[in-house]
């Protein structure tokens, strides 16, 4: 509603100024574009503001869930597992590509060392791929 009133006021005042040769038509169009840009910014932010309470409620629910101790007790004779260390190796790993894009990486040679979380790799003649843990 405010947008329509602003446009009507701008049209009335700006139209009068154009008729009186105090403002060019190009300047009036620029003012309309500026007004629309300001009003569009408000309407673009509205969905984010509307979803904010739901996001806050979800965070509260997750914090409550994570603060609860598990109801299943550990077994009395449970053994402690050692930390897992090792590497991931794809040595001539084969894929079954279904699209031309996937055919470019049908054979994978990849080695990810223990503790490594990110790696870039390039096969000769192929596009670079990015792997993330």
Phi-psi category of 3—alpha, beta or left, where left has phi over 0 and alpha has psi -120 to 50?
alpha
Task: Compute the distance between CA of residue 52 and CA of residue 39 in angstroms, rounded to an integer.
Answer: 21
Clarify whether residues 20 and 59 are in a common domain: yes
Q: What is the pLDDT along the chain (133 residues), one digit of tens a residue?
A: 667 787 888 889 888 898 999 989 888 888 888 888 777 766 666 777 788 888 899 999 999 988 988 888 888 888 888 877 778 777 776 666 666 666 666 666 777 787 776 655 555 554 444 444 4
Task: Compute the distance between CA of residue 57 and CA of residue 54 in angstroms, rounded to an integer.
Answer: 5
Task: Compute the distance between CA of residue 23 and CA of residue 5 in angstroms, rounded to an integer.
Answer: 21
Asked if the structure places residue 93 within a domain, the reply is: yes
Asked if the structure places residue 15 within a domain, the reply is: yes
Q: Please state the domain count of the chain.
A: 2
**CB distance 58 to 66 below 8 Å:** no
Asked if the structure places residue 128 within a domain, the reply is: no
What is the domain extent for residue 19? Answer: 2-66
């Amino acid at each position: 509603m405010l947008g329509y009133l602003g446009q009507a006021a701008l049209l009335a005042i700006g139209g009068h100024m154009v008729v009186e040769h105090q403002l060019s038509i190009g300047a009036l169009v620029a003012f309309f574009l500026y007004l629309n840009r300001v009003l569009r910014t408000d309407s673009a932010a509205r969905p984010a503001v509307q979803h904010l309470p739901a996001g806050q409620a979800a965070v509260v629910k997750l914090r409550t869930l994570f603060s609860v101790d598990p109801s299943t007790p550990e077994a009395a004779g449970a053994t402690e597992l050692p930390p897992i260390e090792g590497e991931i190796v794809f040595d001539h790993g084969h894929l079954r590509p279904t699209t031309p894009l996937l055919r470019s990486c049908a054979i994978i040679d990849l080695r990810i060392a223990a503790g490594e979380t990110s790696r870039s790799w390039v096969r000769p003649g192929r596009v670079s791929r990015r792997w993330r843990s």
